[in-house]
């Protein structure tokens, strides 16, 4: 009787495995691109939020001064 071969040693499984490695490499590049896009978008949003906070701060200071002047 012959012993059953390990499934991974079958040529078809080996080829499939090499394709999986190629897919994983492509996925890795895609993931890195998405991370970079996310980081860039996050930085842009943070900058926009900071601009709005600065505008609100100026308006609040102006309003506070106006309230003090009329008190």
Per-residue pLDDT, 59: 97
Residues 8 and 17 sit within 8 Å (Cβ to Cβ): yes
Average the pLDDT over 52-70 and give the result: 96
Query: Tell me: the pLDDT tens digits for 6-43?
Result: 555 555 555 555 555 555 556 777 888 889 999 999 99
Q: Where are the domains of the chain?
A: 9-70
Place of tokens 């860039």: 40
| More confident call, 59 vs 23 | 59
- Check residue 68 and give its pLDDT: 92
Q: What is the pTM of this model?
A: 0.54
Find the length of the chain: 71
């Amino acid at each position: 009787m012959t012993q059953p071969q390990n499934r991974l040693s079958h040529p078809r499984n080996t080829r499939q495995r090499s394709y999986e490695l190629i897919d994983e490499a492509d996925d890795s590049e895609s993931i890195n691109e998405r991370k970079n896009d996310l980081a860039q978008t996050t930085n842009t949003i943070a900058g926009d939020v900071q601009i709005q906070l600065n505008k609100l701060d100026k308006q609040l200071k102006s309003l506070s001064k106006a309230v003090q002047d009329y008190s």
